[in-house]
Chain A
Amino acid sequence: MFWNKPMETMGRGEMTNLQSLRLHDTVERIYRQVPYYRNKLQALGLLPEDIAGIEDVGKLPFITKQEMRDNYPYGLFAVPLTEIVRVHASSGTTGKPTVVGYTKRDIGIWSEVMARALTYAGASKHSCIQVAYGYGLFTGGLGVHYGAEMIGASVIPVSSGNTARQIMLMKDFGTTVLACTPSYALYIAETMREMGLEPGDLTLKAGIFGAEPWSERMRQEIEDRLAIKALDIYGLSEIIGPGVANECACQDGLHISEDHFFPEIINPLTGEALPDGEKGELVLTTITKEGMPMVRYRTRDLTVLNRSICDCGRTLARMGKVLGRTDDMLIIRGVNVFPSQVESVLLGLGETSPHYQLIVDREDNLDTLTVLVEVTEEMFSDEVRRLEKLEYKIKEALASVLQVTAKVRLVGPKYIERSEGKAKRVIDNRKI
């Protein structure tokens, strides 16, 4: 099933022309309206007319998450705030989130690409779509929500959590499509079993799972346990949110909505473009977005590109499942977590040592984060309640900055192994 057949099956030549026009237009706009971009282009001696088409994209400088932080909150917006109808944000490493703004038209683009994602999964106006991604500043919940409304499906905006209720609603409302993180899907399956429910007790047909990396093995498990087709979805708030690339029923790569987001694969060390099929860092350029265009955004996600025509008939380039990251970012229950965030929280409290370690596990298919904190002389007390209070304080501070709950475990001085070089801040025990 196609949502937008002309775009999804456009010939390569025609697509290149469209991308060229849109890229040129984007560069014109950012040059005119975003001083930060203009300065970057001027520093390289570039004028908008130097970018005649998509073949010139490599002349443009990259932009990174750090630069988004440097321009916090609205520095990269290309329209006045009066035109911005929505702001989303993802957690930041230094307490400040990275902010993105959408115009009315941007929300329309987002709805369109999410409508595609849902249609690829077989959803239609006959579907009942349960959105179990979080709603709020996180883009997951609202992104799926808009796409589901656009295709005319019945939307159940449960948000994440409260699993037993989640399952009850699925059963009572006749949910046919579930959207959440893959680890939460497995947790739902687990809970269903505990409640004595079989997949046959539900009407689920498909699931759209994303916001964290997952393997083929995990896909198999979800499909077996829930008796559904499980499809991958890729997105990031910097670009638009979920819907940047979506799997079709062939489950052989995620179709990038190339008419809105131009993909490149580069060598993360040299920045050089890599040919299709070679693994490297995904770089995305928004070519239609108005509120906050991102030109050559370094996603830090490692993957491969495939521009061959898919068995489903779509010509849209496919990216492989994300194979890893080029930085130390962790994705825990769909939320981006940087070790440096933990560090700034601990140092901010003023009584803890800078020696810490993050232990990530997957228990009952849910990611858990434990932060080990060394007890220093200053923070140590002979009274249990003082230490417990400190533990609680650290936990609260972490939760508010990370947007994900972490267990805190106090350990003795020098418990955490000291390293000569880069400290081993993360032990990830998840088998994805």
Chain B
Amino acid sequence: MIIKQISVFLENRPGTLAEVLGVLGEHDINLRAMAVADTADFGILRLVVNEPDKVERVLKGANFAVKTTPVLAMKVTDHPGGLLAEIKKLTASGINIEYVYAFATATSDEARVVLKVDDLNKAEQVLRSEAPAASDVGDGPNFYW
């Protein structure tokens, strides 16, 4: 399914990540997933949170450059080759993956993967039609998508 990801620009200086997390903590935001892409000069923090609209608002209010991007979220079975099977479907459909990050949850036998792809809707269709069981994500109590 398609979810909202929050990206935040991080300057290359000590403490910028802590500043973002501080703002989120103050507003009772829970993080579901995060990844940092870094270059020599700056970083981009990508977040999956419970209340994306609120997060965008409060971070902008705190003078961060913020962008909400639709990304693809999917569950994969937590065993060897689980992710590969899904990625192969996207590849077979000619979908290009721009970045991906994954996380596992303690209580589940499934891992969660966030993907940014060039053709979001097509990717979602591909995953839905070919493997509804694996990618049709429900609103589990521990999840924010």
Give the interface of A toward B (CB within 8 A): 375-377, 380-384, 387-388, 391, 409-415
Give the interface of B toward A (CB within 8 A): 5, 7, 9-12, 16, 37, 39, 41-42, 44, 46, 60, 63-67, 69, 98-99, 116
* Contacting residue for A387 out of B42, B63, B66, CB 8 A: B42
**B63 A384 Cβ-Cβ under 8 A:** no
CB distance from B129 to the nearest CB of A (A): 27
**B69 A382 Cβ-Cβ under 8 A:** yes
CB distance from A396 to the nearest CB of B (A): 16
Nearest CB to that of A374 among chain B residues? Answer: B65
Most central of A376, A384, A391 by chain B CB within 10 Å: A384
Interface of A is mostly: loop
CB distance from A114 to the nearest CB of B (A): 43
Residues of B within 8 A of A409 (CB): 12, 41-42
Nearest CB to that of B43 among chain A residues? Answer: A384
* CA distance in complex: A387, B16 (Å): 18
Nearest CB to that of B19 among chain A residues? Answer: A412
* CA distance in complex: A412, B20 (Å): 12
25 contacts between A and B (CB under 8 A): A376-B65, A377-B65, A380-B7, A380-B66, A380-B67, A381-B7, A382-B5, A382-B7, A382-B67, A382-B116, A383-B44, A384-B37, A384-B39, A387-B9, A387-B42, A387-B44, A391-B41, A409-B12, A409-B42, A410-B9, A411-B11, A412-B9, A412-B63, A412-B65, A413-B64
* Contacting residue for A388 out of B10, B39, B98, B116, CB 8 A: B39
Given known A377-B67, A382-B69, contact A412–B11 (CB-CB < 8 A): yes
* CA distance in complex: A381, B99 (Å): 13
Most central of A376, A413, A414 by chain B CB within 10 Å: A413
Residues of B within 8 A of A380 (CB): 7, 9, 65-67
Question: Nearest 9 CB-CB pairs, A to B?
Answer: A382-B7, A380-B65, A414-B63, A375-B65, A382-B69, A375-B9, A384-B37, A413-B63, A412-B11
* CA distance in complex: A209, B16 (Å): 44
Residues of A within 8 A of B10 (CB): 412
Nearest CB to that of A372 among chain B residues? Answer: B11
* Contacting residue for B65 out of A383, A388, A413, CB 8 A: A413
Residues of B within 8 A of A410 (CB): 9, 11, 41-42
Nearest CB to that of A410 among chain B residues? Answer: B42
Residues of A within 8 A of B44 (CB): 382-384, 387
Residues of A within 8 A of B16 (CB): 412
Residues of B within 8 A of A412 (CB): 9-11, 16, 63-65
* CA distance in complex: A285, B71 (Å): 66
Residues of A within 8 A of B46 (CB): 382
* CA distance in complex: A75, B88 (Å): 67
* CA distance in complex: A377, B12 (Å): 18
* CA distance in complex: A403, B63 (Å): 33
Residues of B within 8 A of A375 (CB): 9, 65
Nearest CB to that of A388 among chain B residues? Answer: B39
Residues of B within 8 A of A388 (CB): 39
CB distance from B39 to the nearest CB of A (A): 6
Residues of A within 8 A of B99 (CB): 383
* CA distance in complex: A388, B39 (Å): 9
Most central of A383, A391, A412, A413 by chain B CB within 10 Å: A412
